Amino acid sequence: MKITVITGSPRKNGNTFAMTDAFIEAAKAKGHEVVRYDAAMMKIGGCHACMTCFKTGKACSFDDDFNRIAPDILDADAVVFAMPVYWYSIPAQIKGVIDRLFSFVVGGKDIAGKKMGLICCCEEDDTTVMDGVKIPMERTAALLKWDIAGEVLVPGVFEEGDINKTDGCAMAAALADKF
Ligand SMILES: Cc1cc2nc3c(=O)[nH]c(=O)nc-3n(C[C@H](O)[C@H](O)[C@H](O)COP(=O)(O)O)c2cc1C
């Protein structure tokens, strides 16, 4: 399988990246091809709603780094999103990517049938704090006709390294078994 992984944390030594690394290592060990994009380190703005998707030969007429990711979403058998919770919601760093999935819909691309994975963490101990990420991502999958392969949702991690006090990385590695 070709798996495209897209992260949304700006912390290279943070909890999301640690889980992402664990997932990717396990996925590669299973023989999957993995392509990774760290959206926080890329230049990716929001959707302009110009409705000209794919009309200029590229996914988005506003040519930023989303156009680097788009072909690897189109090509992928599976897409895994990994992000922390920011203010009970999806971080701005990755929201531009998610909003611009719209380009595949407007552009009439057939992207149904992919698998999707979600890796998420937050500071508070209450798992429902991640609803602001989990629910929109599940609805996104439903709209795009993607099957959710699995979700790793880890509450109670704040500082870099806190993930190592949990089974988050082990669960992220186990997520690779679902693809
Ligand atoms: C701007 C910002 C907003 C945050 N908002 C929340 C929040 O609403 N709820 C929560 O539980 N944690 C919140 N956090 C904490 C992060 O989710 C937590 O530190 C997480 O482990 C960060 O993941 P990372 O190390 O991968 O960046 C916030 C952190 C930042 C920087």
Domain chopping of the chain, boundaries: 2-178
Q: What is the DSSP letter of 155?
A: -
At residue 133, the pLDDT reads 98
State if residue 85 touches ligand 1 by the CB under 6 angstroms criterion.
yes
Say if ligand 1 is within 6 A of residue 9 CB. Answer: yes
Pocket probe mutation, ligand 1, options 81, 85, 157, max atoms within 8 Å of Cβ: 85
Nearest CA among 172, 6, 3 for reference residue 98: 6
| pLDDT score, position 66 | 98
How far does residue 100's CA lie from ligand 1's centre (Å)?
23
Ligand 1 atom nearest residue 16's Cα: 26
Q: Is 158 in the pocket of ligand 1 (CB under 6 A)?
A: yes
Which residues partner with 7 through β-bridges?
A: 38, 82
Query: Which of 122, 131, 152, when mutated, tests ligand 1's pocket best, judged by the most ligand atoms within 8 Å of its CB?
Result: 122
Task: Please give the Cα distance from 50 to 32 (Å, whole number).
Answer: 36
Nearest CA to ligand 1 atom 29: 86
The radius of gyration computed from the CA coordinates of the chain, to the nearest angstrom, equals 15
129 lines ligand 1 (CB under 6 A): yes
Distances (CA, A) of 57 to 51, 60, 64, 71: 13, 8, 14, 12
What is the reported pLDDT for 28? Answer: 98
Helix axes 168-175, 15-29, angle to 10 degrees: 40
Long-range contact list for 136-143, CB < 8 A, 24+ apart?
A: 136/90, 136/98, 137/81, 137/90, 137/98, 140/98, 140/101, 140/116, 141/116, 143/105
CA distances (Å), 107 to each of 47, 76, 80, 100, 104, in order? 14, 17, 22, 11, 5
Per-residue pLDDT of the chain (179 residues; tens, 9 = 90+): 999 999 999 999 999 999 999 999 999 999 999 999 999 999 999 999 999 999 999 999 999 999 999 999 999 999 999 999 999 999 999 999 999 999 999 999 989 999 999 999 999 999 999 999 999 999 999 999 999 999 999 999 999 999 999 999 999 999 999 99
Ligand 1: which of 158, 163, 166, 169 to mutate, most ligand atoms within 8 Å of CB?
Answer: 158
Q: Is 157 in the pocket of ligand 1 (CB under 6 A)?
A: yes
**CATH class in words for 2-178:** alpha beta
Check residue 155 and give its pLDDT.
98
Indicate whether this model's pTM tops 0.85.
Answer: yes
